Amino acid sequence: MRSRPTLIYHSPGAGAVPPLVRQWAEDRGYPVQAVPDGAAVEELVLRGANAVLVFDGDTLGPAGLALLARLKGDAFAAVVPVAVLGSAHEAGPVRAWFGAGADEVITGLFDGPEQRARLEAMVARAQRDVSVHPSTRMPGTTEIEREIRRRLEAGGLFAVCYADLDHFKEFNDRYSYYDGDRVIYLVSRILHDVVRGMVGTEGFTGHIGGDDFIFVVPAEQIGPVCTEILSVFDTLVPWQYNEQDRRAGYFFGKDRRGQLHRVPLMTLSIGIVTNRHRRFTHPAQVSELATEMKSYAKTLPGSVFVVDRRQASEPDAPPGARGGR
């Protein structure tokens, strides 16, 4: 069971946690942590801290607004609920706070009970509405579809990349579901961190479920991003095995008939679809083709990425170009 979130109070002016906020958090069993440094707040959230954020609107200058916008502009961090609490209730500051991405703005216009109620409602909305996987906190299928639809409507060139682990089931069977969850989380961080680090806000990462992931990048960044992902994956994944399996590069597992066979270490297959040569009108079309490309990539040895190069009028052409480390 996931632990209770920590209420992180961010006041750039190093102000004390307001009594109302502290009492509300304590009533819900939330630990309270005052973090005046914006970089520290961002680091905590991006490292996966289970948190509810309350920003001090009275000392939230341009740097604080930029921090809020960065957190809400990141697919991984955006799911963390953020309230801005300030004494000012003029339209200008309130618009700026909401414009930067605040989930709730609480001002002096509201009495104590309503302020608490608004905090309660914000947390309830986050728990009810956010479509993320609990193990990775990545956007799920609803958000993935919304992102692809947004890209289609924007009209730019983009690539949808479907990443899937090879030999994951055998790993799960040999070790444990706990170890399997650790690998899933590791893959989620590799994808998120590489995409975010290389293309910033132009990228998106999502978790379909199990060991299946989607990431979206500008079409011209396919090679650099996928090459880096595979390189990091192939460097880290052997360390998820015990020393004997890691040294051997395989272990013996049983197939469905109970026969022993060699199971190689996990690899990562990425099937990629772009709108460079095709015109898509619905996310389902992209999803179908990405699934086909992923299946093709899984027939190739090692960690690879495969890009669909076919024209829309060439359904029987070879699926695409192969890439790797």
Domains detected in the chain: 6-129 (3.40.50.2300), 141-323 (3.30.70.270)
Neighbouring-strand partners of residue 296: none
Task: Return the sign of the alpha-carbon dihedral for residues 95, 101, 107, 111.
Answer: positive
Compute the C-alpha angle 315/229/314, nearest 5°: 5
Task: Find the mean pLDDT for residues 24-35.
Answer: 93
Contact partners, residue 152, CB within 8 Å, separation at least 6: 275, 280, 281, 282, 283, 286
Q: How many CB atoms lie within 10 A of CB 213?
A: 27
Provide mean pLDDT across the span 83-90: 83
Torsion of CA 283, 288, 290, 293, to 10 degrees: -160
Region 58-85 average pLDDT: 90
- DSSP secondary structure code for residue 74 in this structure: S
Q: How far apart are CA 109 and CA 91, in angstroms?
A: 12
| pLDDT higher than threshold 80 for residue 130 | no
* Residue 315 pLDDT > 70: no
Q: Which amino acid is at 91?
A: A
Question: Tell me: the pLDDT tens digits for 200-233?
Answer: 989 999 999 999 999 999 999 999 999 999 999 9
Sheet holding 158-166, edge to edge: 204-209, 212-218, 158-166, 267-274, 304-308, 320-323
User: What's the CA dihedral at 96, 101, 103, 104 to 10 degrees?
Assistant: -10
Sole residue written with tokens 């961090």: 77
pLDDT of residue 1: 37
Cβ contact 159:216 at 8 Å: yes
Which H helix or E strand runs over 322?
A: strand 320-323
The torsion angles phi and psi of 137, rounded to 5 degrees, stand at 55, 30
- What span, in angstroms and rounded, lies between the C-alpha atoms of 48 and 45? 5
Find where tokens 């360390």 sit: 239
Closest CA to 273 of 163, 158, 150: 158
Quote the tokens at residue 13: 């002016």
pLDDT tens per residue across span 235-278: 999 999 999 999 999 999 877 777 888 999 999 999 999 999 88
Q: What is the β-pairing status of strands 6-10 and 320-323?
A: unpaired
pLDDT score at 312: 67
Q: Which residues pair with 55 in a beta bridge?
A: 10, 84
pLDDT above 50 for 86: yes
Q: Looking at residue 10, what is its pLDDT?
A: 95
Q: Which pLDDT tens digit goes with each residue over 159-193? A: 999 999 999 999 999 999 899 999 999 999 999 99
- What is the reported pLDDT for 205? 95
Distances (CA, A) of 104 to 48, 89, 115: 21, 13, 10
Specify the higher pLDDT residue, 48 or 116.
116
